[in-house]
Chains A and B, each alone.
Chain A
Amino acid sequence: MAIGTARVRVPKKIKKGKPFKVQFIIIHPMEPGTRKDKKTGKLIPAHHITKLDIKFNGKLVTHMDVGGAVSANPYFAIMMKTDESGTLEISYEDNKGGKWKKSVEIKVS
């Protein structure tokens, strides 16, 4: 499953200025670096998302410092409110240099 793929869910009807829920899932192993390989006994190297930014029309809405203890294929939910329509962009990176972005359109009525 392609690492870094994200899927975002926002409500179909979004009212001006009223908070709505933004939910998203990212495909990522989120290896904490503290687990041992059962066969070799060696530590499995850390491979997890470290930073995540949620921007709306270029402005930073939320910033997350993500640790390895967040579950694999992580799910996040935040609330957001806006008076105008625009583009919601979620950008994230992991400790192995992976960098991804996912954008969705927000239409306010």
Chain B
Amino acid sequence: MMNRREVLKLAGTGVLLSTLSPFVNLSFSSEVEEKFKKHVGVPMSKVKDGSDKIKLKTPTIAETGANVPVSVDAKIPVEDVDWLMIFVDHNPVPRVIKVHFSPMNGKTFFATRIKMAKTSNVRAIIKKKDGSYLQALKEVKVTIGGCG
């Protein structure tokens, strides 16, 4: 039989721990990491955060997963870019599209509409010609409609 003090101690620690949960990335599954490595060619750890250079536009919540607009506008000269990939962590096939640019593109820009199976990170991954990788990512929450 626990006395009141012990119950309070437990409750307090529980609440304290739950305040830390937003900072712990619990959605990091090894399955996503494996698929990432397979499609991108390198493990996640090799891809640097490029969110200051890559402007990724998506909605934060989608009413339907059938048509999620995605646009990528990167401040990286297109002559330095090998390819751009749109990768959706929790799609059955995460690699959505791979775009190979040429200097004739003028700008590292791409836009399309994608299908999302469920709430997931949407990543814009750029491989540069110097062999480095950059990405920007956004979580898009996918909801289903009210009536169907």
How far, in whole Å, are A68 and B117 apart by their CA atoms in the complex? 12
A69-B88, A74-B112 known; A82 and B93 CB under 8 Å?
no
Q: What sequence of 0s and 1s flags, for each residue 50-72 of chain A, a beta carbon within 8 Å of any chain B beta carbon?
A: 00000010011111111111111
- Contact A76–B111 (Cβ < 8 Å): yes
A62-B101, A76-B112 known; A71 and B67 CB under 8 Å?
yes
How far, in whole Å, are A77 and B68 apart by their CA atoms in the complex? 15
- Contact A64–B109 (Cβ < 8 Å): no
Tally of contacts, chain A with chain B, CB under 8 A:
89
Chain A contact patch, size range: 20 to 34
Q: What sequence of 0s and 1s flags, for each residue 98-132 of chain B, a beta carbon within 8 Å of any chain A beta carbon?
A: 11111011110111111111000000000000000
- Chain B residues lying within 8 Å of A63, measured Cβ to Cβ, are 99-100
Contact of B98 among A19, A30, A65, A74 (CB under 8 A): A65
- Contact B92–A32 (Cβ < 8 Å): yes
Q: Would you give the shortest CB distance from B84 to chain A, in whole angstroms? A: 10
How far, in whole Å, are A79 and B100 apart by their CA atoms in the complex? 13
A62-B102, A64-B100, A65-B98 known; A71 and B88 CB under 8 Å?
no
Q: Would you give the shortest CB distance from A92 to chain B, in whole angstroms? A: 12
Contact of A61 among B68, B93, B96, B105 (CB under 8 A): B105
B interface with A by C-beta (< 8 Å):
66-68, 71, 88, 91-93, 95-102, 104-107, 109-117
A interface with B by C-beta (< 8 Å):
19, 21, 30, 32, 34, 56, 59-72, 74-82
